[in-house]
Amino acid sequence: MHYTAIENGTNGKWYGRIIDLLGSITKANSREELVLNLENEKHEYILWLKGYNEDLSVYLHDKLIIKEEISNISQLGESGGTVALFEYDKRVVSSERLKYFFKLMEYSRKTLLELIKDIQPEKMAEQVSQNNRTIIQVLHHICNTEEWYKSRLGEEADFLYEKHLGISVDYLDQKPIIERLEYVRKGCLNVLNDLIVQKGAKIFTREAYTNYPEEPWTAHKVLRRFIEHEREHYYSIRTMKQSL
C-alpha cells in the first residue's frame, strides 16, 4: 500500500500527493478525478526519477490509499492562497533528510531547465491562453514563490537570504530569468541549510507577506512545497510548450 494526502479548497479545487514520493503533485476539479490523477502521477513520478538513476519501480504496483484528507483550504492552488498542513508534515527533518530534499530539488530544476532550453525568447513571452501566464511569467512566479516559501522560516531567513545572495533582491529581480532562477535557488538553499534542521518539528506562522498570517508551517511543509510547486509548474509549462 502507498499512502496519499489530499486537500480540497473553498474554491472547489482538489490537490493530492503520494506521501513517500516527495514532491509528487496532481490536481483535479473533483475528488473522483483526483484519485485517478494520483495513479497517473505515481507512474509519471517514478519515470521522472528513473531518468536520474533512482529506481522506485518497487512502488509501481502498490495500491494507493488516502491517509489524510483536509477540506476548506482557502484559495487552494491560487497565487496568495494557502495549503494544508498534514500530520506527516509534523516531523523532524534530519540533516540526512534535508540532503535528500536538496537532491530532489536539484533533479526538479534540471528537468525544468531541460524543458525550456529550446524555447525561443519570443515564444517564452507569448500568451498561449488569455487566462494563463506566459512561460516567462511562470518562471518569474517560481522565483517569487520560492522566496516566499523561504520567508515562512522567519525574519532571520530574509536577512540570511540577502547575505547569501551578495546582491540586493531588487537588483536580482532585474536579471534575465535563467540567471534569476539560479540566484534565487542558490540563495534559498543556503537559507534552508542554515535554518531547517534547527526548526525540528515545530509548527510556526508568520504575518509578513501574506493575507493568511495564521497559516501553519513546519520545516517539512516548507521543503515539500519547494518541490511540489516547481513540479506543478513544470507540468503547466510542458502543456503550454505543446501549444506554441
Residue-wise pLDDT for 103-126, tens only, equals 999 999 999 999 999 999 999 999
- What is the band of 59 on the pLDDT scale with cuts at 50, 70, 90? confident
- Cite the residue boundaries of each domain of the chain with CATH code 1.20.120.450: 88-243
The domain 2-79: what is its CATH number? 3.30.160.250
Q: Are strands 64-73 and 2-9 parallel, antiparallel or unpaired?
A: parallel
- 40: which residues sit within 8 A by CB, 6+ positions away? 26
Residue 34: how many other CB atoms lie within 10 Å: 22
Render pLDDT for 73-110 as a digit per residue (tens, 0 to 9).
999 999 999 999 999 999 999 999 999 999 999 999 99
Nearest to 70 by CA among 87, 58, 92, 56: 87
Render pLDDT for 174-229 as a digit per residue (tens, 0 to 9).
999 999 999 999 999 999 999 999 999 999 999 999 999 999 999 999 999 999 99
- What is the band of 244 on the pLDDT scale with cuts at 50, 70, 90? confident
Q: Is the pLDDT of residue 160 over 80?
A: yes
Phi, psi angle pair for 203, to nearest 5° = -95, 130
With beta carbons less than 8 A apart as the criterion, state whether 144 and 233 touch.
Answer: no
Q: What is the pLDDT of residue 58?
A: 85
Output the average pLDDT for the chain.
96
Question: In Å, how far are 32, 54, 140 from 46, measured between CA atoms?
Answer: 22, 8, 27
Whole-angstrom Cα distance, residue 200 to residue 219? 7
Q: What is the pLDDT of residue 213?
A: 98
- What is the band of 173 on the pLDDT scale with cuts at 50, 70, 90? very high
Whole-angstrom Cα distance, residue 206 to residue 4? 27
- What is the band of 2 on the pLDDT scale with cuts at 50, 70, 90? confident
- 59: which residues sit within 8 A by CB, 6+ positions away? 2, 20, 21, 42, 46
DSSP, res 69: E
- Cite the residue boundaries of each domain of the chain with CATH code 3.30.160.250: 2-79
- What is the band of 166 on the pLDDT scale with cuts at 50, 70, 90? very high
H/E element, 64 = strand 64-73
With beta carbons less than 8 A apart as the criterion, state whether 160 and 194 touch.
Answer: yes
Residue 237: how many other CB atoms lie within 10 Å: 21
- CATH superfamily, domain 88-243, is dinb family like domain (1.20.120.450)
% the chain with pLDDT above 70 = 100
Mean pLDDT of 36-50: 97
Q: Is the pLDDT of residue 7 over 90?
A: yes
Q: Is the pLDDT of residue 130 over 80?
A: no
